[in-house]
Amino acid sequence: MSERLEDIAARMTATGKGILAADESTGTIKKRLNSIGVESTEETRRDYREMLFSAQEAMTNHISGVILYDETIRQKAKDGTSLVEVIASSGAVPGIKVDKGAKPLAGFPDEKITEGLDGLRERLDEYYRLGARFAKWRGVIAISDDLPTWGAVKQNAQALARYAALCQEAGIVPIVEPEVLMDGAPGDHSIDRCYTITEWVLKTVFQELYDARVSLEGMVLKPNMVIDGKNARKASREEVAEKTVRCLKATVPAAVPGIAFLSGGQSDEEATAHLSLMNAGYDVPWTLTFSYGRALQAAALKAWGGKQENVAAGQRAFAHRAKMNGLAARGDWKEELEKAA
């Protein structure tokens, strides 16, 4: 008897836990490893991710799921255990990124469409056999004075909905990720412009999900926070929290079990602080949690530095960030806790 989508989604959005995004493409992980002077090979990529997934304290107490890349879901740890089993043994749900990346959208200068729908049904069946119980697809929405266009919003929302329906058919919970880019060019938009566009994008996405007959109880939303552009940062943490919650209340049905934010261009501590303020200050119908990549990994990557003797140090750094975000997911994070560490 396979597990119900609602139950998997509930595990993914368990109180005080969040999702580790470890689905960097081979190109992105190469940049991360290069930054610490480590050559990116299949083995170094495996060693780095194994260090994270086998960090007992972080994984057991603060991580509810892990998004994997195609290479990683097939890899084994040094002792021969599959990495999927390492993740599952901590109680976290293994997941998989299934999109093929954002490519230029024909006819729409400076806008993108995410590819990967062709053959997705067959790929999902294989990933299910490999142990994945949720998937992720990211649609990217450019924001400026004239962007996005309706055509780009509509096509990305449709792709997200088609992907989500295929996931549910395969017994896999879809993470639906429409990201209004904080750090895209020119990055000088105000927080109010971000609110307007995020509201429009989310309304469109949920209309498409409804039309595609996607069960809202068996999905997780991964949106951006409502925040000003990376080159125009003025909004206070309180304003980001207030406007993000207001925007979500206006667009996201209460049937959705959880919302796991992306960190998208924010610093580690900022992403944590914003999440904590939302949980501490507002009453909402969904679990508000995190699905962070760099904001969970940056400190651990540095501490590890590619050296076997630094694995424990890397795991401690990961555990600290996971714990801080776990507290934020309950509304209990305090700045002093960062200093104490």
Q: Is the pLDDT of residue 249 over 70?
A: yes
Average pLDDT over residues 219-235: 96
Q: How many CB atoms lie within 10 A of CB 115?
A: 12
Residue 243 annotated as catalytic: no
Q: What pLDDT, on the 0 to 100 scale, is given for residue 341?
A: 63
CATH number of 5-340: 3.20.20.70
Confidence category of residue 16, pLDDT binned at 50, 70, 90: very high
Q: What pLDDT, on the 0 to 100 scale, is given for residue 125?
A: 98
Question: Of the listed 111, 177, 179, 208, which one is catalytic?
Answer: 177
Q: What pLDDT, on the 0 to 100 scale, is given for residue 183?
A: 87
- Nearest partner of 134 among 168, 108, 177, judged by Cα: 168
Residue 177 annotated as catalytic: yes
Whole-angstrom distance, CA of residue 106 vs CA of residue 95: 30
Q: What pLDDT, on the 0 to 100 scale, is given for residue 1?
A: 65
Q: Is the pLDDT of residue 199 over 90?
A: yes
Confidence category of residue 129, pLDDT binned at 50, 70, 90: very high
**All structural domains of the chain with their residue ranges:** 5-340
Whole-angstrom distance, CA of residue 278 vs CA of residue 229: 20
Q: What pLDDT, on the 0 to 100 scale, is given for residue 315?
A: 98
* Distance from chain centroid for Cα 235: 23
**DSSP character string of 12-68:** HT-TT-EEEE----HHHHHHHHHTTT----HHHHHHHHHHHHT-HHHHHHHEEEEEE
3-state secondary structure (DSSP) of residue 85 = helix
Average pLDDT of every residue of the chain: 97
* Distance from chain centroid for Cα 331: 19
Contact between residue 119 and residue 159 where contact means Cβ atoms under 8 Å apart: no
Question: Of the listed 97, 112, 222, 230, which one is catalytic?
Answer: 222
Q: What pLDDT, on the 0 to 100 scale, is given for residue 328?
A: 98
> Which residues, at least 6 apart from 233, have a Cβ–Cβ distance to it below 8 Å?
none
Q: Which tokens in the block code for residue 90?
A: 């901590």
Confidence category of residue 85, pLDDT binned at 50, 70, 90: very high
Whole-angstrom distance, CA of residue 278 vs CA of residue 224: 14
Q: What is the CA radius of gyration of the chain?
A: 19
Q: What pLDDT, on the 0 to 100 scale, is given for residue 264?
A: 86
**What secondary structure letter does DSSP report for 325?**
H
Average pLDDT over residues 11-16: 98
Contact between residue 198 and residue 224 where contact means Cβ atoms under 8 Å apart: yes
Read off the pTM.
0.97
